[in-house]
Every structure is written in C-alpha cells, then in structure tokens.
Structure 1
Amino acid sequence: MAGKLYEWLSGAVLDDHSRRKHKILREYFFQYLTVRCQLPQQSRFKLAVIDGFSGGGRYQCGAAGSPVIFIEELKRALRYININRGSQGLGLVTIECFLILNDADKNVTAFLQENLAPVIAEAKETESRLILNTVFFSEPFEQLYPKVKELLSKYRCRNVLFNLDQCGHSHVDRKTILDITRSNPSAEIFYTFAIEALVSYLKKSDPTMLISQLAPVGLREDDIRNLENHLTKKSWLGAAERLVFQAFKECAPYVSPFSINNPSGWRYWLIHFANSYKARQVYNNILHDNSSSQAHFGRSGLNMLSYDPAEDGSLYLFGESDRENARNELLEDIPRIISESGDAVSVSDFYASIYNETPAHTDDVHAAIIQSPEIEVITPGGGTRRKPNTITVNDTLKFKSQRTFFHML
C-alpha cells in the first residue's frame, strides 16, 4: 500500500478501518462469484483480479491481507457453488482467475510472494476446478496500468475486478478509473482514499468545485485549512459525501460514495464503482449485512443526496433503525420515480434508474413496492405479485387504476 508505508517486513499493524474494509471486500467477492456462476449451462467462469496496492499479504497479527483474501474466497465460493450445483443435478463449474498483484516496493513484493507460496500451493492441491494464474509486479500503479491493460486484452477476460487500496489520494488518477470502467464492460473497482488528500488535491486542481460543494454546510476556505476540527461532524460527512460523488460520478454509472464509519472522524472512503446496477444492488445488501462499517449522511430512500444540509439529512449506518426510515421514505419516493416514466416501468429499468442514488437494501425496496397503495406489480403473464420476495426483473411496476391524489400535489 502506498502513501502510508506499512512496515510489512517488520510486521504491519491492521488498523480498524482496514479490518472493516477487508470484511466487506471478502463478503462481496464471495457474492460476486456466486452470482456470476448461476447459469445452469455454465461450466467455466473466467475473471481477472488486479490488486494494485497488494502489500505483504499478512499483517503482524496473522490476519490476511487482500491477496490472501481473494484466494481464500475463490476456494470457498467454488466449493459452495459446486455443492449447490451438484445438489440440483447441474454440471460443476471451473473458475479460472488471473491474479495480478502489485506493490511499488520490491521488498514488499518479495515478502508477499513468500507469504502466498503456501496459500497458492494449497489451493492448487485441494481445488482441481480452480485455475489460478498469478503474476507479480513492483511499480507505481499509474506506471503499471498500461501494462495491466495490455495483459487484460491478451487474456481476453470480460470480468475484471480492481482493488485499489491506496493511502492518500494521488496514486490513482480519476482518468485511470474512468478508463478502467470504459475499457471493460463488466469492470468493478474498490477504491480507497483519505478524504483530506482528496480535499488537498481538489484545492489545487478544481477549487471552484471544492468550495461549491462545501459551502452549503458553512465550510469556507479557512475551515478547509483546519479540516481536522470538522471531521467528526455529521454535517461534514454529508458535505464530504457530496464532494466525493461530484468528483467521481462521471467515472462509472454506479458509484457508492460512502465513508468507512469512524465516529472519531470520517477520514477514509471506500468507493465501489460498477457498470451494472446488479453489482451496486449486491454491494448495498453487503453493507447492510455489515451495519456500522460504512456511513452515509443524507436521505435514506431514493435521491440520497437531495436534501437541504441546513435543515435535514440524517446519519445512515445500514442498521435496522436506518432501514425502517428507508422504507418510510421509499413509500413516497418509488411512486414519484415511476411517474417520471408515465404510469408504468419495467423492474429492470426501475433498478437501473435508482441504484446510483440509494443506500437501500433490495428487500426494503421490494417491501415498499408491495406496501404502496399506488402501485401494483404485474408479472410477464399478466398476474399480480403479492409478496416482496417474488418480484423479478421481468415484472412491470404500474400505477393502479384508482390512485390517490398524492402524486398530483
């Protein structure tokens, strides 16, 4: 990891924010694999994982770093997938993973290779249906990226996952993130940075945007210079989230601008970039399974950043009380979104339109749809859904023939 130079060789300490981040990464990667291996006719799944700031693989306490996590979850997911497929009488799946690992420090890369050697050997020995091709680099990520892009083209892999766990902000350019998502239709990125570094970067490169995003909560140039005094304020979290979203919204269709939760100061952001609403949908659900790991400030329904910083907005930690607030807001928000399309919209188009602007869990979205007095869910055969867990992407959301006057006000 660049920026804050971990003492990998003498024993890197695992910080709390990194522990939370790794848990989310681990659980999301498992879900990513299981979702991508659901087709009954499927016999092989091919992906590339690029860990741009891979570190030494093991922390002082023995906890796994991201390279070990990726291999462990490949094994766990493959076993889970094939047990389920076997129980259904389906053919088994082989996963082929091209794992690219990079750390700018050559000594750290050598340490990583030493730590990974038994992990890779064990995976190859015990998982005959896991094909793992691992390559190591020791270069600054921006210098390495053209080589990675060339390798991905040569490898001919559509499914690409980048883990860019930098410290600071300057080690990965926004243009590179944009190039990743545009060059790879199925690309996803986990991107970590410290908010102070982003503020410093924008202060030099785009001061107008910086001031415009922070001014609504009363943060001026003097406040920015003394940012440490504001990091624990909920209003700061909301302002920073708007700032992050504004800075990165052009990089992918779906951008999650949520901070790693730390009530003593919201300093670190873990952003997930994706080209598919399904990826964001799964990511939101993972965050709810890890409530309090990430934090959002604003609305909890749709249009999550559309609020008056001076008057409203609340802290959302993806817990049960937050979900209750989300369900209440969704009851009002969902009919309003449908009305923008006329009187009906397919569920797939509805998902595509909302998931970049909500922290909500899929179950809460579905519950609000079924509970709404305004909406009915029509199946492809013309029937009506009655239960939230039966809604599919092939259904249609439609206003009922007798509506209230709510949406006319």
Structure 2
Amino acid sequence: MLFPEDFLHYVWKFRLFERADLQTTDGEELEIFSAGMHNSDSGPDFQNARIRIGDTVWAGNVEVHISSSDWQRHGHTTDDSYSNVILHVVYKDDKPLILPNGRRVPTLELQNRIPDDLYNRYHNLVFGNQTIIPCEANIGSVDGLTMHNWLTRVLVERLEKRSAAVIDALNINRGDWEETFYQFLAANFGFKTNALPFELLAKSLPQITLAKHKNNPLQIEAMIFGQAGFLNGDLKDEYPLKLKSEYEFLQKKYKLIPIENHLWKFMRLRPQNFPTIRLVQFAALVVHSNHLFSKVLEIKDVKALRGLFSEIKVNPYWEDHYRFDVESAPSSKNMGQASIDILLLNTLALFLFSYGKHNQIQHYVNRCLKLLEHLPNENNKIITDFATLGVKIDTAFESQALLELKNNYCNYKKCLHCGVGNKILKLG
C-alpha cells in the first residue's frame, strides 16, 4: 500500500479499521473508548484519548506513524512532550518502542486491519487521473446536507482569511472602521484591473478631507480626479477646466500629492468600466453617502443595500463622455446591478463578517452569510467546472465556498481533511 501518514490519521480518527479482537503487539486486549482530539500543532497526533489495555483504562495521547521506527526517526525519543503517549498506532510494527526510562509503549498495528475497499477509494481520490478535482466522479452524488455543512465551513474559513487584511488595515487606521471601509470600497471600485490605483488614491485622499466638502460635489470630483492624476496637461471642456481650477486650490490647501496617472489601465476594458467612469461613480457615492459603513451596519434589506449604489447620479457631463474632452454617444453611466453585486460581495459582506468577528457580535456574521445567500453566484471557470460535475450553485454563498474548496483543498488533494472527501470515502 502507498499512502501518507495523514491516511493513518484519518483511519484512526474515524476508527475505520477492523476492531474485532483488538490486541497490542504484545498480545494484550485493547479497547478504544475515544480516539482523542486531532492535534494539528506540535506534539502527539491525538490528545485526550481513552483506551483500555488489559484491565487498565488509560487517558492520554496517541501517536501515529507508518512504521514504529519512525518514532526515533522523527526525534520523539528525546522530546518530553511524547513521554505520556499511551498508545503508538502504526501500519507496520518494525521495531519495539521503548522509551529512555525503560517503559515499553503499547503498540497497535493496523497492517491487516484496513479494509481494501477503503484504501482503494482513497487511492483513486488522491492518485487517480482526474482533470478537475479529485472527487469529480463522486461529488455529484454527495447529499445536500453534507455539501451545505461543508461549504458553510470553508466559506467561513475564506472569510476569516480575508478579514485578516481588514483588521490589519483597521489597526493602521487606529480603529477607524469608516476610513478602513472607504479604502477597501475604493479598491473594489477598481475591480481587478484598477484595484491598485484606486487603493492608492483612497490612501492619498482621506475620507475626512472629502467630508469637509460634502456640500460641494464639484470639489469632491476635483479632488478625486486630481489625486488620480487626470487633471494634468491641457484640458479643453469647461467641466474638466473647472475641476482643474478647484483642484489646484485644494491641492495647495491640503498639501495633496497625486498618484501616478500611468497606473490606470484602459486597455481591454469596456468603456463602461473605464477608470474615469468608475472614478465619477465613486465621487457621486462619496457625495451622497455620509457615514456609509454605519449605514451598512443598519440596513438589513439586500434591496436597500443595492440602493446605496444604484440611486447615485453622476455629473451630467459624463452622459456623453467616457474621457475628458472626447464626446461619445449618450448612455447611462450609473452603476449596473452586476457591478453593484460585486461590491456587495467583496466589500459589504466582508466588512459585516470582519466587524462581527472582531467585536464578537454573531449577528453581523449571520448577516454576512445571509447577504451572500441573496447575491447571485459568480461566473468563472472554477464555478463552471463544478456545475458540470452536478454541484448545485445558485448564490454567492455557494460560489465563494467552492472557490475556497478548489483553491485550498482540491488543488492540494487534501481529501482527508475535506468533509466531502470524508463522505465519499465512507460511502463505500
């Protein structure tokens, strides 16, 4: 048999071996009450196990190895944290385990106790010739409850990892949630292509500075376009000339340093997604939304959250422009629902989760998950591949979880650590 130590961990944890007439390698009768808690940190593999050897009940740690000789090879002989191991579980007992104090550690050998069909299912999962994910032949048959429970867990794992960046930024911003939210929202306004310049723009132009000019939309637009580097050079139309004049005054007043204009990308973007359009939409949001994060915390209805973005109106100049001084056919430059939903997914949901976790308020964590259940699923190759395998995907809750599943479990063939993989192995 070919398998890593993790497979033995799995077999021991779920007691998937033949348990009739269990004995240690010394011939003593063995009964297992509890396999213990799996330990992913340093020290013995399982903690707080309960077993009976002969007439004595033991409570303590269990160590698992492919071969008994691995104990010495892994350096456990001189490690005091292994001195209270009550059972050594191995696939092959090739060397009696005797501690430096002379105590012989009881050993359970599993070589002839692992069912062939269990091993074959594992081998097919991890070493098969799959093209998408290891369990592609079976995942469509996994029951809905198992899928939902596991996807909920991996979704939370994904949100916890992403929220770490939010808390790091929050610490830099001295606990200011509004400023932190503003910075992340700006970055997400750039979507993937222009996320970096939008983030740099927000950091160069604090929300508190913009707040001083809430009642003057032209000055808000001037600072945003000026800081973005779009008011340099010769401009012709009356509107951009006014912006430039306002910005020159405000730049001196606040000692503003604009970002490099070359960072913005127009290539291979639909005109509706040009950074100039995203910037004027962002400016309109700043003008119409005071204390935006506080509103997000208060509003529970998804339709009302969408309304925070859909109801903003951009400067009329942009009705027939995508760039300064270049006239185009008239078209609406207000945000479409697809773009709004991306912002709800990547910013609002993330901040509800981060705020709830950081302040230990489960209500906001639940609201995050509820919001994701009301947003449509994303469309990308990973999600399309899962759909072809028969996985039900209707919402962002499912698509976000599947992205995490694919990128952090399937790609590394961590089937033994996956609830779906566990279910498939047990189904046989």
Does the alignment reach a TM-score above 0.5?
no
Larger helix proportion, structure 1 or 2? 2
Q: Which has the higher contact order (CA 8 A, sep 6+)?
A: 2
Question: Given the two structures, how large is their TM-score scaled by the length of structure 2?
Answer: 0.22
Larger strand proportion, structure 1 or 2? 1
Larger Rg: 2
Question: Given the two structures, how large is their TM-score scaled by the length of structure 1?
Answer: 0.23
